[in-house]
Amino acid sequence: MLTFWESWDAIRAFAGEPVDKAKYYDRDFDFLIDPPENVEHFEVLATANEFQGGR
């Protein structure tokens, strides 16, 4: 799954600390065969115009 967040603070507000520990909801385990313990974060750099599909 790929999600986009406005900031590291937004990620922390959702996931807590540490931010690389995967957070799951109870129903997630009905669909996941081997849920990972950790997640990876990548920083994407783009202008707002590029992100919205402009040139």
Judge contact between 41 and 20, C-beta under 8 A: yes
Q: Is residue 18 part of a domain?
A: yes
pLDDT digits (tens, 9 = 90+) for 1-55: 888 898 999 999 999 999 999 999 999 999 989 999 999 999 888 766 665 665 5
For the range 38-47, what are the long-range contacts, defined as Cβ-Cβ under 8 Å and sequence gap of 24 or more? 41/11, 44/4
What's the pLDDT at 14?
92
Q: Is residue 44 part of a domain?
A: yes
Domain residues for 28? 8-51
Q: Is residue 2 part of a domain?
A: no
pTM exceeds cut of 0.85 = no
Task: Find, among 26, 21, 25, 18, the residue nearest to 36 by Cα.
Answer: 21
